[in-house]
Amino acid sequence: MDAPHAMDWTAAKETVDRFLTLVIESSRMEISYEIRGSGGSGGSEATGELKGERTRLRVIFSGADTGLMVARHAELLHAMESLATSLLRLTPEEHDLISFDAEEYKAKRTSRSGGPRRRGWRPCAGVGGLTRFRR
């Protein structure tokens, strides 16, 4: 399913680039980034590496300070991604159209847990879903 409104992804890429340049230069973090994504204006091709993923822009961070971005369950990484979605005026349903990652944090988290998990839930054999457990 495509975004509800037409998005100029070339302009979006430039907006994210300006935002990240400002944040990184003012914070003096030793981080570089690469923005990968579609250059068209809302075509149907997604750039996600996983089948069915609809990510249009993927930002990959590297450098000496990427550890700061993934510390505390990647709070800084998620905050920067959230600010970028706000700058692009994406609706909550469109937030998965952009993705920020550092040190392959998201990929490692998904593979380590067998998929995204919610805190306090675990897979239950034979049930086919997640089951609440008590500590």
H helices of the chain, in order, are 9-27, 66-87, 105-113
- Alpha carbon distance 38, 8 (integer Å): 10
At 126, the amino acid letter reads G
Tens digit of pLDDT for each residue in 21-79? 999 999 999 999 999 985 444 433 444 443 345 778 999 999 999 999 999 999 999 99
Which class does domain 9-103 fall in?
A: alpha beta
pTM above 0.85, yes or no: no
- Alpha carbon distance 49, 43 (integer Å): 17
Tens digit of pLDDT for each residue in 87-119? 999 999 898 899 999 998 887 776 665 555 555
CB atoms within 10 A of CB 74: 19
> In degrees to the nearest 10, what's the CA dihedral of 88, 93, 94, 100?
90
